[in-house]
Amino acid sequence: MKKSGTPGGGLALNVRKYWPLYVMVLPGLVYLIMFRYIPIFGSVIAFQDYSVFLGISGSPFVGLKNFIRLFNSFDFGTIFSNTVILGLIKTVLLFPVPVAMALMINEIRSSWIKKSVQTAVYIPHFLSWVIVGGLVFDILGVGGLFNNIRAAMGLGVMLPMQKESWFRPIFAFSSVWKESGWGTVVYLAALSGMDPSIYESASIDGASRAQRLTRITLPLLVPTILTMFLLNIGGFLDLGFEQVYNLQTPMTYNVSDIFDTYVYRAGILQAQYSYTTAVGLFQSVIGLVLVVTFNKLANKFTEDGGLW
């Protein structure tokens, strides 16, 4: 089979020669248009006073009215700052946890302990946020481990799930519990690909294990760390509806409500379609800027680091 591309014969020739490839790609292409692109074009209702009965073509155009309402709304500042704070907790504050865990796992010499530890810390990743939310509520509820420990220390019953000041720590801890163990996979894969002869020569030169960790292993991991960091932070508005929704209670809405949960309540449940599309569009545009910026940085600072 000749590998000549398009030049010369043009597209018609390419289609004639490779028509089966065109047939193969078609279902996926139609799918992406139906489920990813048509909804994007549906965002025009953010500039309309959309009514389900009139449809997109019949609903009146209102310009930026929905955006003005958003920026002037009482909730906007709260939701925006909650989204940013929780996003930063997840992508910046907690970022080093899986790196540190991977480095520590790498130092375990007994292979069965290493394997058992890995098996244990990966498990929570496979549980849904409904399950994890259920576990959190049980542990922090009346008669849960948390209150039983308090009781043993002579303290009274306390319900953290209903306290604003506890929401962010609970969010952070549940993120670590569910995903940090799984987050080590990528770093351990990078470590296993490293040349063992570097370690051997270092230990002949008298480097201790601790020195090898900080002077050899960690620097070798830097490209992977940087790539992961930039990609994570680029997507930090995608906090995940499911985690917050399954951890929040009406008592903590002030600190727990993010764009996704707000849009769900006001948009899907209360059917304020145009207004919440404006909210979502605002979020998508910021997300776009972040992803593109940090992908560019990843390409600049790491070899082959960006997504595209």
Partner 1 sequence: MKESRSDAAFSAVMTGIMIVFALIALIPLLNILSLSLSSKVAVEMNSVNLLPVGTTLDSWKFIAGNGDIWRSFAITLFSTAAGVVLAVILNALMAYPLSKTYFAPGKIIMMLVVGTMIFKAPIVPYFLTVRGYGLYNNVLVLIVPHILSAYNMAIMRTFFKQFPAEVEEAACIDGCGMFGTLMKIVLPSSKAVLATESLFYGLTIWNQFQHPMMFISKVELYPLQLKIRQLINAGGDLSSMVVRANVNYNETTLGAAAVVFAIIPIIAIYPWVQKYFAKGAMLGSVKG
Q: Which of residues 126-185 bind partner 1 (CB under 8 A)?
A: 126-131, 133-135, 137-139, 142-145, 147-148, 151, 177, 181, 185
Least Å distance between CB 239 and partner 1? 12
In angstroms, the Cα distances linking 192 to 90, 135, 185, 217, 226 are 26, 34, 10, 11, 18
What count of residues does the chain have?
A: 308
Least Å distance between CB 19 and partner 1? 9
Least Å distance between CB 32 and partner 1? 6
In angstroms, the Cα distances linking 28 to 23, 31, 39, 42, 272 are 10, 5, 16, 20, 32
Site string for partner 1, 42-71 (x = CB under 8 A): xx-xx-----x-------------------
* Options 93, 179, 280, 286; binder of partner 1; rule CB under 8 A: 280
Least Å distance between CB 97 and partner 1? 10
Taking the C-alpha atoms of residue 282 and residue 260, their distance in angstroms, rounded to an integer, is 12
In angstroms, the Cα distances linking 54 to 49, 50, 58, 59, 63 are 10, 7, 5, 5, 17
Task: Tell me which stretch binds partner 1 (CB under 8 A): 74-82, 85-93, 161-169, 267-275.
Answer: 267-275
Taking the C-alpha atoms of residue 282 and residue 258, their distance in angstroms, rounded to an integer, is 13
249: left (phi over 0), alpha (psi -120 to 50) or beta: beta
Orientation angle between helical segments 145-152 and 129-140, nearest 10 degrees: 20
Least Å distance between CB 185 and partner 1? 4
Site string for partner 1, 76-115 (x = CB under 8 A): -------------------------x-xxx-xxxx--x--
In 10 A of CB 91, how many CB atoms?
Answer: 22
Query: Partners of 48 in the beta sheet?
Result: 61
The answer to the question of residue 245 lying near partner 1 (CB under 8 A) is: yes
Task: Tell me which stretch binds partner 1 (CB under 8 A): 60-68, 88-96, 160-168, 289-297.
Answer: 289-297
Site string for partner 1, 199-228 (x = CB under 8 A): ----xx---xxx----------------x-
